[in-house]
Amino acid sequence: MPTAIIHHPVYAKHDTGEGHPESPARYEVVMNALRADIELWPELLELEANEATRGDVQACHASQHFKNVERVVREGTAYLDADTIVSLYSLDAALRAAGAACRAVDAVMSGEAGNAFLPVRPPGHHATAERAMGFCLFNNVAIAARYAQTHYPEIERVAVVDWDVHHGNGTQGIFYDDPSVFFFSMHQYPWYPGTGARGETGIGRGQGYTMNVPLRARVPAQEQRRVFESAIEGIDARFKPDLVFISAGFDAHEGDPLGQLLLEDDDFVSMTRVVKEWAGSVCSGRVISSMEGGYNLQTLGDTVLAHVRELAREG
């Protein structure tokens, strides 16, 4: 089964203003890199992202948050928080970013695709149940995880693997008391947004279903890979997911302007392979990777291309 690429041109219309790191160019360089690979691109399944429904979004977000995003977008270019800017097409883009993740669930569950990559924007993992923050309006992966559990009886347990340089505070918060979703984040610490300490492991019935691996700035890439592999082994010993999401932030790449970690393309390939092998052993290889950060326009396209090649690689 092919790897699906699920996207929509409206991602390029989410205008964050001149000089903003989360720019339309991110989507454009990624799509250009994928389409330029004349061997890989014909083997991929290109699908158009639908809009997520209000009900699917509100399974993870308060209704007031949805209404606030609607209102601010309707009023024109404005700030949802200090660095989260919206404009005319931002709500359309955000709904199709979450919708791409839900469409990926359908594609993987129906056998239309073996796995999927979503070059979406805006990203999602900082969006909490109540507010937008950190460039994120709605939490794409969280919405799709709930969508999978709601629409597919065979999906009871979901794992979210977040390797963005920034902690996925929004995803963690949404599932912090939920034993059906295991959230794992490996990130630079201390760094934005200030959460993600090792002691944050869940509450109530969700205790033990959150794992944070904070990393110091400029930790050697080999050590980061070793820590990642060890963490996946540890999760596997206690949690067998029916579906795996990757919050695929590429801002842990060496030279990214918003991070201080040292990963290179081969390191992302290695981590992708680890997640694929884990998913292959526990959930028939069902992996959905959704783009989060990654702001170096000189490297982002090649890094994503390497990631997608590994997703698409047979065996």
What would the DSSP string read from start to end of 61-95?
S-HHHHHHHHHHHHH-SEEEETTEEE-TTHHHHHH
pLDDT digits (tens, 9 = 90+) for 129-153: 999 999 999 999 999 999 999 999 9
Average per-residue pLDDT for the chain: 98
Q: Residue 170: pLDDT band by 50, 70, 90 thresholds? A: very high
Active site residues: 126
Which ranges of the chain would DSSP assign to H, the alpha helix?
24-36, 54-58, 63-75, 90-110, 140-151, 169-174, 221-236, 265-282, 300-312
**Residue that is written with structure tokens 């969006």 in the block:** 127
β-strand 210-215 against 181-188: which pairing, if any? parallel
pLDDT digits (tens, 9 = 90+) for 220-248: 999 999 999 999 999 999 999 999 999 99
Q: Residue 76's pLDDT is what?
A: 81
Helices (H) and strands (E) in the chain, counts: 9, 10
List residues bridging with 118 in a β-sheet.
290
Q: Residue 77: pLDDT band by 50, 70, 90 thresholds? A: confident
List residues bridging with 48 in a β-sheet.
7
Residues contacting 96, CB < 8 A, separation 6+? 8, 10, 11, 49, 50, 51, 52, 120
Torsion sign (Cα): 105, 148, 29, 313: negative
Closest Cα partner for 254 from 245, 263, 267? 263
